[in-house]
């Protein structure tokens, strides 16, 4: 009898997972790559994650190709420039006249179920603003989600040369994150 319950529970979990996948695939099929779609700011999470309403659905969005210092990870203390990055992201999104969202041609979600994409605030790539101001590093580069990689790397090189933000602390920025 107990093995029957476990089997039933597994079937229920499988059903929910399949249903969730069907819903997400249906959502993603309505939006093509390289198409900027209108989005509304719902709530702030941190420097590189936010919640947007896209196509009438609230989505937790992780910004492609960038990483900002941590502010909300319970396993990590607040890192230098994390609060500044978080505040800047919130400021840009909450005061924007227009927010648009764009998928790249690769994965649409990450392992946490967050939607992956590019955010444009009043026509300007939000990721580029953060990198240009020294509040984010170029990171999590996974082909083929690299449409704006060159643009971001150029902005990063300029911020690095000017020792802006995260680049003002020698050795702070590493390939794996922040020290």
CATH code for the domain in which residue 133 is found: 2.40.50.90
Let me know if 110 is exposed, middle or buried by CB neighbors in 10 A (0-12, 13-18, 19+): middle
Q: Which residue has the tokens 């203390």?
A: 77
Instruction: Indicate whether 16 and 94 sit together in one domain.
Output: no
What mean pLDDT do residues 14-41 have? 65
Task: Quick: pLDDT tens for 100-128.
Answer: 999 999 999 999 999 999 999 999 999 99
Nearest to 102 by CA among 115, 118, 114: 118
**Looking at 36, 62, 88, 157, which residue is catalytic?**
62
Annotated catalytic, 62? Answer: yes
Confidence of residue 3 (pLDDT cuts 50, 70, 90): low
pLDDT of residue 29: 47
Annotated catalytic, 114? Answer: yes
Is the pTM higher than 0.95? The answer reads no
Let me know if 88 is exposed, middle or buried by CB neighbors in 10 A (0-12, 13-18, 19+): buried
Dig out the tokens for 37 from the structure: 């779609």
pLDDT of residue 69: 98
Instruction: Indicate whether 2 and 26 sit together in one domain.
Output: yes
Annotated catalytic, 70? Answer: yes
**Looking at 70, 84, 102, 137, which residue is catalytic?**
70
Instruction: Indicate whether 57 and 92 sit together in one domain.
Output: yes
Where in the sequence is the domain holding 114, given as residue range(s)? 33-178
What mean pLDDT do residues 163-174 have? 98
Nearest to 135 by CA among 153, 119, 159: 159
Q: Are 100 and 36 in contact (CB under 8 A)?
A: yes
Q: Are 112 and 121 in contact (CB under 8 A)?
A: no
Residue 68 neighbours by CB under 8 Å, 6+ apart? 46, 47, 48, 81, 82, 85, 86, 89, 130, 135, 136
**Looking at 84, 102, 114, 137, which residue is catalytic?**
114
């Amino acid at each position: 009898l107990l093995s029957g319950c476990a089997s039933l529970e597994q079937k229920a979990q499988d059903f929910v997972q399949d249903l969730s996948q069907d819903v997400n695939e249906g959502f993603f099929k309505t939006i093509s790559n390289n198409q900027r779609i209108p989005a509304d700011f719902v709530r702030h999470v941190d420097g590189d994650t936010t919640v947007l309403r896209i196509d009438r659905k609230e989505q937790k969005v992780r910004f492609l190709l960038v990483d900002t210092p941590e502010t909300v990870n319970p396993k990590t203390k607040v890192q230098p420039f994390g609060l500044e990055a978080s505040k800047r992201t919130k400021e840009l999104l909450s005061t924007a006249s227009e927010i648009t969202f764009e998928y790249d041609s690769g994965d649409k979600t990450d392992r946490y179920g967050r939607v992956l994409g590019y955010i444009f605030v009043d026509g300007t790539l939000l990721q580029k603003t953060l990198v240009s101001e020294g509040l984010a590093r170029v990171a999590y580069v996974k082909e083929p989600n690299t449409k704006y990689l060159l643009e971001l790397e150029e902005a990063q090189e300029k911020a690095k040369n000017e020792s802006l933000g995260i680049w003002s602390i020698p050795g702070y920025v590493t390939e794996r994150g922040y020290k």
